[in-house]
Every structure is written in structure tokens, then in C-alpha cells.
Amino acid sequence: MPSHYSPFMDAPDLLILGALALGGFLWLSRGRGDDSGQTSAVDPREAARVAKTPNARSLVAKLEQDGKDMLVLYGSQTGTAEDYAGRLVKDAVKYGLHALALDPEDIDVEELAKVPATKLVVFVLATYGEGEPTDNAVALNEYLSQQYEEFRNADPDDKPLRNLHYAVFGLGNKTYELFNAMARNIDKWCTALGATRIGPCGEGDDDANMEEDFGRWRETVWPEFAQFYGINLAAEAAKAAAAGLSRSFTLVDHEEMPSIVYRGELGDRSHTTYDAKKPFMARIVATRELFSGKEVPVRNCVHVELDLTGSKLIYQPGDHLAIWPQNQQHDVDMLSLALELTHRLDNVFSLTSTDPAATKRHPFPCPTTYRAAFTHYLDIAVPPKPHILQAWLPHIADPATRAIYARLTGDKAAYAAEITDHHTTVAELLLKHPIVPPLPLDVVFESFTRIQPRYYSISSSPRYLGNPNRVHITATVLRYESTAKNKSVHGLCTRHLLDLHEQLQRDPAAAISVPVAIRHASFKLPRQNATPVIMIGPGTGVAPFRGFVQERCAIVAKAKSSTSAIPPAPLGDALLFFGCRHEQHDFLYASEWPEYLAQGGLTELITAFSRDTDKKVYVQHRLAEHGDRVWDLVRKGAHVYVCGDARNMARDVHWWFVEAAMTRGGLSEEKAERFVKDMRTKGRYLEDVWA
């Protein structure tokens, strides 16, 4: 084991810490930094705990607390990197090391320069946007990029991270142009700032098999970590195993009703700011089904209008709305049955981290009821990954049952046949292969990740609606057959939105709210109204363009009503390329486009119906047909916007522009690619795409 480092802190540090502790306490009291601050009152025990913590944001203090050997900083938007960070911490525990996973937003990133040379900082970072950091890693990204600019050419002795030892695993998707940009940049910057990387930089590809990429990287880096710490992995694992199973959480059933019980609420109207860590409960004011006719198989696309009154949230067309879904009652009932909790669903319990240094004391708001945890907090409707089943094995007493589960963890084909192909959930698995005596509940709860928000491209303009508090989204309901064709699987959030729509159809006066947050994006109309725009959005990809076109209609209306002596600059042309399967079934907002054309917000709508003729017609075919016009607008400085499917459509459209630059612009392939790349760099070719 490494020797633990240096005196805890010197006097000036302690003074600063005192001030920071107060600041940190006040900051946390506002409810940021811990997800339990979601009811109207601050949990007094939580406040007391934070007050006792030397400095809730100090990286160094966290390292020194309990003699941590490793910190894992995760940049995560939808939870995968956070989950991986947790798994690295578990690896560390297995090898007798002390480790802690941290959200970089919860710490002072400048303290990376103060991390002692005996410790290891592991970055587990997803890439978002177009090669950008996740929201929670923005400050980390900014800090390291600034340091890089300032110190990249400094003498080795002056490099600020010369003591830092780090490792890095990136989560990305090769579908995106800037694959794993975040991990690659952080690695480059850390090295240039004098830090030493331990092990290779890992890169996971969500388009292939991220789980396997992560598994391979762990197998490679752990021996290197062992060398760094001077430990023998096998010996440490044997020691830790002999010392007994370590648990990440303690579960306590509350016999008496605590003063605060979380029942799934994620928004709190007594707080004045709302964001992804503190969503706002927005009332759904209207919904409608956008698909029509009898398409087989049945598909749904729900238009949802929400009210942000009281949230102080503002948005512009091009931004995203995050929505937190909840589980289906059927899945809650099934899990309760599998865990023999049906009669205790409304009992109150708390799940608390066994690590006192953890910033997230509870994995979800606690105390809470089992019903609330299963409905609102835990992602219970997804199949358990093999490492989850692996973690169950030591808790399965019966050898025959243990053999069944061991096979699922060790045999890929068995796992696929039993779990993946049938989309088997934890509840279904436990009902099929009961574990007697049952697994400890804290172990079961660790099997689930927290329900993550889903993002939707906002499909309205507040100016056009004349109401800054109204926001619209357009959600296609995800539904597919399991590989074994025995189960129809629904997307969690879109199924929930469909249910809410149906509920409102039955009872239009029903008061229904969902937790939401706004994510500001760089997908925006040009600053100059005169700049032409070319919008390409098949399917749900048309969502942000409804917002763009509405916004332009509002600009036209304002210009018409203006009494100013100076006439406003004319609006540039706006072409919209929209594609769907059938004109009669999924032509989104078909009745609205003529109005926008008449109002002058849209110059031309060009449609591609892919399944109405023998030959597929896609938006890129229409781009080709209108190539002269499109290219003319590009030459005049048009901004190109692409939204929707990242995997195929966005790539094909990108290539259409490269080819146009060759055939119409007379450029070589290399120069044409550079031309489109330049458009991207200059913010003239923007994508809002998802895989």
C-alpha cells in the first residue's frame, strides 16, 4: 500500500478552508451539490454533516479524508461515465485501496495542481455536443485548456501538474466527427502540463461495444495501477476478500416516520434556480398525437406543450429540454413482487454511502419509500449487465442457484440467450431464478443506475408563442421488438409521455407535471437575420426547425408592425428539407408549414417521402435535386443545420455537401472536406444529432 502523505494542512490552508467551508455550506444549503435537496426544507442532518466537512469542495481534503488513494472524476451527461467511475471505485476497494468517485462540478478543479504524487486521479469522460465536454465537466475543461495555453511551453519545473499522476478513459461514439475529443484533449493537456499518465488512454465507442472497450481498458490499466501503488493485485484481492465483503451502502428501514420523506419529487418551488441538478416540475398544458392514419406497425409521436411559469427558465429555439421519466407501474409491481416488498412498498428507508467523504451521501433522495425509489429514482426496466450479476454471486447461498447466475456472468452466449435477447429485467430474472435467502436490498439497489433525463430538441419559439413560459417538444415513441421477438420494448421516457398524453385525453383537466430543465445549445439561428438558412431535419429531426421557423415568423411580424423610419434588413431565405416515411402518416406538423410559408418565416419546404414510392427518397436526394439553389445559398454565406439521426442521415448529408463542394465548387476531395470542416469551425454547419 502507498504511504499516506504529508501533514493534513497548514495554517493558511485551514483559514481558507474555514471560509470555504462556510461558503460551501451556504452553497449546498441552496440545494446544489447534493441531490437530496429537492424538497422545500434542507435536511437538517445533511446540513450538519456538510457543516462538519472541512471543505466540501476541496479535492485535497477529500483525498486526505480516510487516506484516499484514488479519485475518479467523471464527466457524464446520461449516466454511463458516472456508472463506470463507480465501477472503478469498486475495483479499487477489491484491491484494498481507498477510492472515491467525484462529480468535477462538486470540487475545485484548480486543486488538481495540489494532488500529491502518491495519489492517482482517474478521468472518466464522455464527449458531447460536437466534441464538447458534458455539462458537469465544463469547468474542468475550461480550467485545463486555459492552463495548457498558459503553461504548455513552461520549464518542466514550472509546469503546474508536474506532481499529478492520472489515467483516462473516454466515452464516445465513432458516429460523431470528433470521437472522444474530451478524453483526448484532457490527456494532451495534462501531459503538456507535466502530469504523468499511468496506463494507456482508453477510448470507448458507444456505436460498437463500450462495455467491452471499458472491460479491456480496466484489464490493461489495473496491473499498471498496481505497479504505481506498489501492490500485488492478487494478494490484495485475497486480503480484502478475507476481510469480508465490503458494502457501498447501508440500508436502514425507518421505524418512525422521519420529518422529511422524499416521494419522488425532483423539483422544489421554494428554490429560485432550476437546472439539471434541480429540475423544475413543469405542468403539461397540452398534448397531441402527430402521426395520423393507420400505419402498421403502430407508431406514435407526441407533441407536448409545457408551462415553465415560476421557474425563471428561459430558452431559445435550438435549446434542449431535459425530461426525467418515471417507471411504469407494471415494472414497479413486478420488482416489488420479486423482492417480496409488495406489502412494504410505502415503508420509509434510507440508503447511505458507507464512505463519509462521498459528496453524494445517498444515491437518490433519502429517506424515501420503496415505491418512490422504484418509480422515480432507479432505472429498473433495463437488463442487468454481467458485472451486476457478478456482484450478486457472493450473496447467493444456494450452490445450484449460484451456478445459474455464475454461468450468466461468465458465458457470453448464455447471457445473450437469457438476458439480452429477451430484454430481461432484474425483476424478471429474480422471478425466474429466485434467490433464497433473498439478496440483501442494498446489493439489489446497487444493481440499478439512477433514472437519467432524456433530452428533446425544443420545437417552439417563445417570441412566436408570445409567452416565454411555454415550451414545446416533439417526441417519437420508441418501440421495438426484443431480439427473441417475445417482447415489445418501449423507451422509458417516450412511453411515459405517451401515457400522460392518453391520460390527458381521458381527463383534460388532470394536473400533470414532469421534472424538466433547459440545456442551452449552440444550435442557433444566425445572428444576422439576412443570412440564409438551410435546414435539414427528417423525422423528429424537424423539431428544432419548427422553433427556428416560428422565430423567423415572429421577426417578420415585428418588422411589419415596426413604425421605425429605418426599414429592417430583409430576412434571408430559409429552405427546410423534411423527410418521413409516408405523407399521410408521419408528416410532422403538416398543417402548420403552409401558415409559416404564408407568414414569411419559411421560404420553401422540400419534402422527401421515403416509402410512398418504389424507390427510397431521402432528404439528400432532394438536396441534389435543388443542388444549384442550395450551393448558391452556401456561396452567399448560408448557415446549414442538420438535425436527427447521427448514424446514417447526418453522415450522408455531410457527404452530400462535400460532394457539392467538389462538383459545384470545383474543389478537390481534400479541399472539399476542408471546406465543410471550415464551415463547421466557423459555426456555419451545425448539427443537433443523436444516435
Ligand X SMILES: NC(=O)c1ccc[n+]([C@@H]2O[C@H](COP(=O)([O-])OP(=O)(O)OC[C@H]3O[C@@H](n4cnc5c(N)ncnc54)[C@H](OP(=O)(O)O)[C@@H]3O)[C@@H](O)[C@H]2O)c1
Ligand Y SMILES: Cc1cc2nc3c(=O)[nH]c(=O)nc-3n(C[C@H](O)[C@H](O)[C@H](O)COP(=O)(O)OP(=O)(O)OC[C@H]3O[C@@H](n4cnc5c(N)ncnc54)[C@H](O)[C@@H]3O)c2cc1C
CB of 421 to ligand Y, least distance (A): 10
E strands present in 139-268: 165-172, 196-197, 202-205, 249-253
Choosing from 55, 134, 375, 461, the residue that interacts with ligand FMN (CB under 6 A) is 134
Neighbours of 465 (CB within 10 A): 16
538 binds, among ligand X, ligand Y, ligand FMN, none (CB under 5 to 8 A by kind): ligand X
**Residue 171 or 348 having the CB closest to ligand X:** 171
For the chain, the distance separating the N- and C-terminal CA atoms, rounded to the nearest angstrom, is 43
What gap in Å lies between CA 473 and CA 129, rounded to an integer?
Answer: 19
How many angstroms separate the CA atoms of 255 and 201, rounded? 49
Kindly state whether residue 690 participates in binding ligand X, applying the rule CB under 6 A.
yes
How many Å apart are CA 18 and CA 89, to the nearest integer? 29
366 vs 535, beta carbon nearer ligand FMN: 535
- In the complex with ligand X, which residue's Cβ is closer, 560 or 616? 616
Work out how close the CB of 364 gets to ligand Y at its nearest, in angstroms, rounded to a whole number. 18
List 360, 371, 501, 581, residue binding ligand X (CB under 6 A): 581
Of the candidates 202, 180, 75, 181, the residue with the CA atom closest to the CA atom of residue 134: 75
Contact region for ligand FMN (CB under 6 A) — 9-17, 76-84, 146-154, 620-628? 76-84
Does residue 457 belong to the site contacting ligand FMN (CB under 6 A)? no
The residues assigned a catalytic role are 457, 643, 688, 690
Query: Does the protein bind ligand FMN through residue 478 (CB under 6 A)?
Result: no
- Single out the residue of 29, 78, 513, 603 in contact with ligand FMN (rule: CB under 6 A): 78
Q: With the CA atoms of 179, 532, 456 and 123 taken in that order, what torsion angle do they form, in degrees rounded to the nearest 10?
A: 30
Among 127-135, 166-174, 236-244, 610-618, which window interacts with ligand X (CB under 6 A)? Answer: 610-618
Grid coordinates of 47: 446540513
Minimum Å gap between C-beta 364 and ligand FMN is 17
Stretch that binds ligand FMN, among 90-98, 170-178, 411-419, 432-440 (CB under 6 A): 170-178
**Which of the choices ligand FMN, ligand X, ligand Y, none does residue 390 contact, using the CB cut-off of 5 to 8 A by kind?**
none
Q: Residue for cell digits 479519485?
A: 71
| Number of neighbouring beta carbons within 10 Å of residue 382 | 14
**Phi and psi of 573, rounded to 5°?**
-65, 150
Tell the smallest beta-carbon distance from residue 288 to ligand X (Å).
16
- Of 28-36, 178-186, 504-512, 573-581, the segment contacting ligand FMN by CB under 6 A is 178-186
Window contacting ligand X (CB under 6 A); options: 212-220, 329-337, 522-530, 640-648: 640-648
Nearer to ligand X, 144 or 536 (CB): 536
Helix axes 210-229, 233-242, angle to 10 degrees: 90
Q: How many residues does the chain have?
A: 691
DSSP structural state of residue 647: T
3-state secondary structure of 107: coil
Residue 79 CB, nearest approach to ligand FMN (Å):
5
Q: 206 is in the binding site of which of ligand FMN, ligand X, ligand Y, none (Cβ under 5 to 8 A by kind)?
A: ligand FMN
Of 199, 204, 515, 644, which one interacts with ligand X (CB under 6 A)? 644
Selected range binding ligand FMN among 9-17, 96-104, 174-182, 609-617, rule: CB under 6 A: 174-182
Residue nearest to ligand FMN (CB): 172
Q: How far is the CB of 172 from ligand X (least distance, A)?
A: 15
Q: Is 111 exposed, middle or buried (0-12, 13-18, 19+ CB in 10 A)?
A: middle
Measure the CA–CA gap between 377 and 396, rounded to whole angstroms.
Answer: 26
Beta bridge partners of 61: none
Which listed residue (36, 53, 55, 76) binds ligand FMN by CB under 6 A? Answer: 76
Shortest distance in whole angstroms from residue 582 CB to ligand X: 8
Contact residues toward ligand Y (CB under 6 A) are: 320, 325, 454-457, 474-476, 478, 480, 491-494, 540, 543, 688, 690
Distance (Å, whole) CA 569 – CA 677: 29
DSSP string, 29-98: HTTTTSTTTTSSS--HHHHHHHHHSS-TT-HHHHHHTTT-SEEEEEE-SSSHHHHHHHHHHHHHHHTT--
* Residue 95 near residue 237 (C-beta atoms within 8 A): yes
The answer to whether 100 and 89 have CB atoms below 8 angstroms apart is yes
- Please choose which of ligand X, ligand FMN, ligand Y, none residue 579 contacts, taking the beta carbon within 5 to 8 angstroms, the exact cut-off set by kind: ligand X
Q: Is 206 a residue that touches ligand FMN (CB under 6 A)?
A: yes
Interacting positions 447-506 with ligand X (CB under 6 A): 476, 478, 491
Asked if 579 interacts with ligand X (CB under 6 A), we say yes
Query: b/e string for 628-666 if b means 16 or more Cβ within 10 A?
Result: eebbebbeeebbbbbbbbbeebbbbbbebbbbbbbebbe
| Min dist. Cβ of residue 102 to ligand Y (A) | 24
**Binding-site member from 377, 618, 631, 675 for ligand X (CB under 6 A):** 618
Among 539, 547, 572, 601, the residue binding ligand X under the rule CB under 6 A is 539
Q: Which residue has the cell 406489502?
A: 343
- Please give the Cα distance from 235 to 226 (Å, whole number): 11
Nearer to ligand Y, 201 or 653 (CB): 653
Q: How far apart are CA 582 and CA 592, in angstroms?
A: 17
Q: How many residues line the site for ligand X (CB under 6 A)?
A: 23
Q: Give CA 515 to chain center in angstroms.
A: 15
* Residues sharing a CB contact under 8 Å with residue 7, sequence separation 6 or more, in sequence order: none
Looking at 81-89, 111-119, 188-196, 646-654, which segment touches ligand X (CB under 6 A)?
646-654
Question: Contact between 180 and ligand FMN (CB under 6 A)?
Answer: yes
Element (H, E) at 443: helix 441-445
Nearer to ligand FMN, 95 or 214 (CB): 214
* Shortest distance (Å) from residue 592 CB to ligand X: 17
> From CA 385, how far away is CA 447, in angstroms rounded?
9
Give me the amino acid identity at 225.
F
Instruction: Check: CB of residue 337 under 8 Å from CB of residue 471.
Output: no
Q: Name the burial class of residue 11, with classes exposed (0-12), middle (13-18) and buried (19+) by CB atoms within 10 angstroms of its CB.
A: exposed
Q: Tell whether residue 538 is a contact of ligand X (CB under 6 A).
A: yes
- C-beta of 504 vs 518, nearer to ligand FMN: 518
Sole window of 62-70, 79-87, 253-261, 572-580 interacting with ligand FMN (rule: CB under 6 A): 79-87
Taking the complex as a whole, the smallest distance from the CB of residue 618 to ligand X amounts, in Å, to: 4
Inter-CA distances, 197 with 76, 87, 151, 168, 230, Å = 21, 20, 18, 8, 16
- For residue 310, give the C-alpha cell: 415560476
Residue 346: burial class (beta carbons within 10 Å; 0-12, 13-18, 19+): exposed
Does the footprint of ligand X cover residue 387 (CB under 6 A)? no
Our CB check for ligand Y shows the closer of 164 and 322 to be: 322
Residues in contact with ligand X by the rule CB under 6 A: 476, 478, 491, 538-541, 579-581, 586, 610-611, 616, 618-620, 644-645, 648-649, 652, 690
Residues in contact with ligand FMN by the rule CB under 6 A: 76-81, 126-131, 134, 171-173, 176, 178-181, 206, 210, 690
